[in-house]
């Protein structure tokens, strides 16, 4: 699976490659068979890649999807909290991310 390639591209800052590969990865049945925690963590990394591209809506969508799959990955993972905080600074913050920011204690 190209999952590792997506994550490596995101970590090295090549968000364009990460997101292109991501579109292929999520269409595969193998992705849906991964444990929820893996899919949630993966989607947090994808949110970071969207954020690197300046796509706040894409990042917000990935975070909300991650939260629906594996809430603990979003609410407890330091990277997720960082991405939530960055997106929540947008004015106005996407509704799903505003809710997540409140849930993790970043806003009131």
Q: DSSP string spanning 5-46? A: HHHHHHHTT-HHHHHHHHHHHTTSHHHHHS-HHHHHHHHHHH
Chain segment 58-97, per-residue pLDDT in tens:
999 999 999 999 999 998 989 899 999 999 888 788 888 9
Could you tell me if residue 84 is inside a domain? yes
Q: Does position 39 have pLDDT exceeding 90, yes or no?
A: yes
Could you tell me if residue 69 is inside a domain? yes
C-alpha to C-alpha distance for 68 and 48, rounded to whole angstroms = 17
- What's the confidence (pLDDT) of residue 1? 54
Could you tell me if residue 108 is inside a domain? no
Range of the domain at 8: 3-103
Q: Look at the chain and report how many structural domains it folds into.
A: 1
Could you tell me if residue 92 is inside a domain? yes
Could you tell me if residue 33 is inside a domain? yes
pTM: 0.85
Could you tell me if residue 65 is inside a domain? yes
pLDDT band at 106 (very low <50, low <70, confident <90, very high): confident
Could you tell me if residue 27 is inside a domain? yes
Could you tell me if residue 99 is inside a domain? yes
- What's the confidence (pLDDT) of residue 108? 63
């Amino acid at each position: 699976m190209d999952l590792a390639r997506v994550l490596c591209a995101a970590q090295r800052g090549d968000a364009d490659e990460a997101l292109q590969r991501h579109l292929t990865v999520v269409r595969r049945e193998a992705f849906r068979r991964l444990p929820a925690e893996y899919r949630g963590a993966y989607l947090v990394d994808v949110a970071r890649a969207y954020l690197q591209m300046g796509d706040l809506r894409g990042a917000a969508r990935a975070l909300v999807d991650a939260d629906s799959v594996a809430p603990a990955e979003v609410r407890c993972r330091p990277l997720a909290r960082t991405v939530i905080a960055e997106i929540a600074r947008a004015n106005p913050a996407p509704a799903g991310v505003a809710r997540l920011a409140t849930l993790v204690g970043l806003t009131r």
